[in-house]
Amino acid sequence: MKQSSGIAKNSLMLMAMNIAKMLFPLLTLPYLTRVLSTDCYGSVVYVKSVTTYLQLLVDFGFVLSATKSIVQAREDRARQERIMGDVLLARLWLAGAALVLLVILTAALPILRERPLLSLLSFFPVFLTLFLFDFLFRGLEKMEAIALRFVVMRGVATALTFVLIHSDRDVLLIPLLDTLGTLIAALMVLPQLRRLGLHVRLSHDRRAAWSMLKDSAVYFASNVASTSFSALNTLLLGIILTTQEVAYWGVCIQAVAAVQALYTPITDSLYPVMVREHRFSRIVKAVRLFLPLVLAGCAAAYFLADFGIVLMGGQAYAPAARIFRYLIPVLFFSFFALLFGWPTLGAIDCNAETSRSTVYALSFQVLGLLALLWTGCYSLVAVALLRSATEVVLCGIRMLYIRKNIHAFADRGGSAE
């Protein structure tokens, strides 16, 4: 009962964090799409898709690998402090590489080249995430610490968006406000660490940071592949289609991401528990509990698409509702793809299988994109259909891997209690 209570509490805390991360931007979306031109908003969407990849490079899967290490070192405070220091050092190396990559991309990609300062300023909040130590609080199952600072962070940035951004001329304030919010979140970490009695310490052997990078590489590959399902599409759209179409796609993806933000607290809360228990019955319970809710949500998304998209983006974005409807299968299958991924396969050390499933699904999408380009059928509708098909493939592959490794669970895949 205590374990179930802990999962419920952590799920609620992570739900609050994800609401802060996704709904606050969703609140500013209708405002930004009205005060910015579609071309300017399309540029903002494109820059954010690039910084998504940079954030993944800087994170490098530590939110999973280092979380697991913290769980395993739960009774060893000195080891936890060394993990914090080694991860910070490794991420500093990665941040340097990410900055170099951003400079190269800004020179190479037309949309970034048109707004170089917007691109470079967008790197600041990415860099500041080094000091949030989310993996530590996840591993200690203190999700309220993460949730509190993200609510404050997004609340400040959201409020100032309405006050300070009024036209295309103010577009550079968008990354600056993100930087301010992330800086506040980073400063809030200091008293949280003091209360835990933890300090950042490096291992005596600097090769420990390199070892953590190698251990986290499999998680990084999976996360890059998973994020590429949407971010890669945005990057290609900006090269092949117009910034207006990028803006349409951005509104649709923002709506999809807002729904998916409701999924991740559940899977993130289950992950450390599954690492300890390896009980498949918990996954069965989650499926039984959330399947009706996911189905109802998908039905509501279909019938309310026109109203929702116009509410989010304004009348100028009404054509995007048709695109959004083709993405509704993503809403359904992504919940189960997330659930069957790290909380299920990753918890029983099937890290390679989890990553391979994502890479295989991404390969399916890349081949599909190449086929669309080769046949001249590349369009927003075609990309949306392909994105939905990719999520079905990902979910199916992970189900096959679970069936193959069902013996690795402590309850042998037994039914829920």
Mean pLDDT of 85-90: 91
Is the pLDDT assigned to residue 8 strictly greater than 80? no
Please answer whether residues 249 and 234 qualify as being in contact, where contact means their C-beta atoms are separated by less than 8 angstroms: yes
The tokens for 326 are 């083709």
Q: Which of 23, 232, 18, 52 is nearest to 129 (CA)?
A: 52
With cut-offs at 50, 70 and 90, classify the pLDDT of residue 416.
Answer: very low
pLDDT tens by residue, 113-151 = 999 999 999 999 999 999 998 888 888 878 777 778 888
Q: Supply the pTM of this predicted model.
A: 0.73
**Greatest mean pLDDT range, 243-257, 337-351, 385-399, 400-414:** 385-399
| The two structure tokens encoding residue 386 | 């392909």
* Amino acid residing at 265: P
Cβ within 8 Å of residue 250, ≥6 positions away: 41, 42, 44, 45, 48, 234
The per-residue pLDDT for 225 is: 73
pLDDT tens sequence across 187-242 = 999 988 888 888 888 777 778 888 888 888 877 877 777 777 777 788 788 888 88
pLDDT at residue 169 in the model: 94
pLDDT tens digits for range 153-189: 888 888 999 999 999 999 999 999 999 989 998 999 9
pLDDT in tens, 265-284: 788 778 878 888 889 999 99
3-class secondary structure, 171: coil
Residue 37 backbone zone (phi > 0: left; psi -120 to 50: alpha; other: beta)? beta
